[in-house]
């Protein structure tokens, strides 16, 4: 029996800087193995390797991708076994966490093979990396201010009574009966991220096994995130388990809710993560049609065209800085990689590999 495979982000490059949701992602696990060591010790590759094949044994696997290198993973969680393997560089952890077992790969780096001035070089590269991130975050912050301009005409023309009606209809359809004698299990995550390749999301993967998907359409400012926040609060108060997905651009907003017990996903299906129904059970909820007074697009057409253009330019600029950060990070990795003895890495991981293959806890 093959287990499920789900893809997420728990770290985001956002208009509010770097935002992480690792604590939420790692809750309710029994053991967390943290791979420590400098860049270049192939921690993301090792994490993938350790988890390879385990899904074929019926294990449900959760992959948490890097927003800088989307093909890399920061964390792999073996959900059935309650085990996580973590890149300690990408995912800081608490040494006081009794679940944590650190595996230090630093001894695999032969300092004699490092360039004579590697410390100075590393310092310069790390400064460039920090500057690139800072520039990206500044551009995203500018883009968010422009996005606020974009929302304004729609907020001014939003019918709040109709918005309440939409929330009430959903609650009556899906959340009418509280879960008995149960506290909600709630995780806060990202389904997508701003990356050097542009916006990437895993909505289709995350909703693939669900019975019903509700695609929320609408313009910025038409109440999509507000609706999701209201539903999340009500569901939690009534004991429903919930995966809450924050917006990868503005983490103060919500983009999706998954209700595992209901087999239901409700998500913002607008750019840059715009999808359309392709199953008979899919539904569309158009907030523009339901709650916005008619004619806003037409009355503000010229103003909105200018806003969209400025917003797109700032997002493009931010993405280019993320590309610079990725390129610098590659150089940092390569600085150390040539001095790594991977046979030492292999020996360091032998016990952990035995646990994953044979399910025998490492000492």
Q: Write down the pLDDT at residue 53.
A: 62
Q: What is the pLDDT of residue 98?
A: 80
- Please state which of the ranges 116-120, 179-183, 206-210, 349-353 shows the lowest mean pLDDT: 349-353
Give percent of the chain above pLDDT 90: 78
192-195/186-189 β-pairing = unpaired
Where do we find the tokens 């995550």?
189
Whether a cis peptide bond, with omega within 30° of 0, leads into 136 is no
CA distance 83 to 49: 15
- Ranges 10-19, 71-80, 151-160, 235-244: which has the least confidence: 71-80
Rounded distance, CA 254 to CA 189, Å?
Answer: 10
CB 63 within 8 A of CB 8: yes
| Per-residue confidence (pLDDT) for residue 283, from 0 to 100 | 98
Q: Check whether 221 has a pLDDT greater than 80.
A: yes
Ranking 82-96, 192-206, 303-317 by mean pLDDT, the lowest is 82-96
| Structure confidence at residue 349 as a pLDDT band (50, 70, 90) | confident
Res 167: pLDDT:
98
Minimum mean pLDDT among 43-47, 120-124, 294-298: which range?
Answer: 43-47
Secondary structure (3-state) at 361:
coil
Residue 352 confidence (pLDDT): 77
Whether the per-residue pLDDT at 223 is higher than 80: the answer is yes
Poorest-pLDDT segment among 104-118, 144-158, 212-226, 317-331: 104-118
pLDDT value of position 345:
86
Confidence of residue 68 (pLDDT cuts 50, 70, 90): very high
Helix, strand, coil in percent for the chain, rounding step 5: 45, 25, 35
**Residue 288 confidence (pLDDT):** 97
- Rounded to 10 degrees, the C-alpha dihedral 35/36/40/41 comes to -50
Task: Determine if residue 244 is left, alpha or beta; phi over 0 gives left, psi from -120 to 50 gives alpha, anything else beta.
Answer: beta
- Cβ neighbours of residue 262 closer than 8 Å, sequence gap 6 or more: 174, 211, 212, 240
- Does pLDDT of 94 surpass 90? no
Q: Is the pLDDT at 55 greater than 60, yes or no?
A: no
The pLDDT value recorded for residue 1 is: 58
For residues 359 and 86, the model is more confident at 86
Residue 359 confidence (pLDDT):
56
Average pLDDT value for residue range 188-215: 98
* pLDDT tens digit sequence for 7-26: 999 999 999 999 999 999 99
Average pLDDT rounded to a whole number, residues 105-110? 92
Residue 15 has a pLDDT of: 98
pLDDT at position 351 is 72
pLDDT at 347: 83
253-273, pLDDT tens digit by residue?
999 999 999 999 999 999 999
Can you give the pLDDT at residue 346? Answer: 83
β-bridge pairing 198-201 and 212-217 = unpaired
pTM of the model: 0.94
């Amino acid at each position: 029996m093959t287990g499920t495979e789900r893809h997420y982000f728990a770290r985001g490059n956002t208009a509010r800087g770097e935002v992480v949701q690792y604590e939420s992602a790692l809750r309710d696990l029994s053991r967390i193995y943290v791979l420590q060591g400098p860049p270049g010790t192939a921690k993301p590759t090792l994490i993938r390797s350790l988890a390879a094949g385990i899904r074929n044994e019926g294990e449900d696997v959760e992959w948490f991708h890097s927003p800088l290198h989307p093909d890399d993973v920061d964390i792999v969680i073996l959900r059935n076994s309650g085990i996580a393997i973590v890149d300690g560089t990408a995912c800081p952890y608490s040494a006081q966490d009794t679940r944590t077992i650190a595996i230090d790969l630093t001894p695999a780096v032969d300092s004699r093979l490092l360039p004579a001035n590697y410390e100075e070089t590393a310092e310069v590269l790390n400064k460039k990396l920090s500057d690139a991130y800072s520039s990206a975050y500044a551009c995203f912050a500018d883009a968010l201010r422009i996005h606020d301009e974009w929302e304004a005409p729609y907020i001014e023309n939003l019918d709040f009574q109709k918005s309440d009606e939409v929330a009430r209809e959903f609650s009556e359809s899906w959340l009418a009966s509280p879960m008995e004698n149960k506290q909600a299990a709630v995780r806060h995550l990202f389904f997508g991220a701003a990356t050097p390749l542009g916006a990437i999301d895993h909505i289709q993967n995350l909703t693939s096994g669900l019975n019903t998907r509700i695609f929320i359409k609408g313009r910025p400012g038409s109440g999509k995130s507000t609706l999701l926040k209201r539903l999340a609060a009500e569901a939690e108060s009534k004991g429903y388990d919930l995966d809450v997905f924050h917006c990868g651009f503005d983490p103060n907003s919500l983009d999706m809710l998954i209700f595992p017990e209901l087999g239901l996903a409700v998500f913002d299906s607008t750019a840059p993560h715009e999808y359309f129904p392709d199953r008979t059970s899919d539904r569309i909820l158009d907030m523009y049609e339901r709650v916005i007074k008619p004619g806003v697009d037409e009355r503000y057409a010229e103003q909105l065209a200018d806003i969209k253009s400025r917003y797109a330019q700032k997002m493009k600029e931010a993405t280019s800085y993320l590309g610079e950060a990725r390129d610098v990070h590659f150089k940092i990795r390569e600085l150390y990689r040539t001095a790594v003895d991977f046979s030492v890495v292999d020996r360091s991981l032998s016990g952990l590999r035995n646990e994953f293959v044979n399910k025998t806890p490492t000492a």
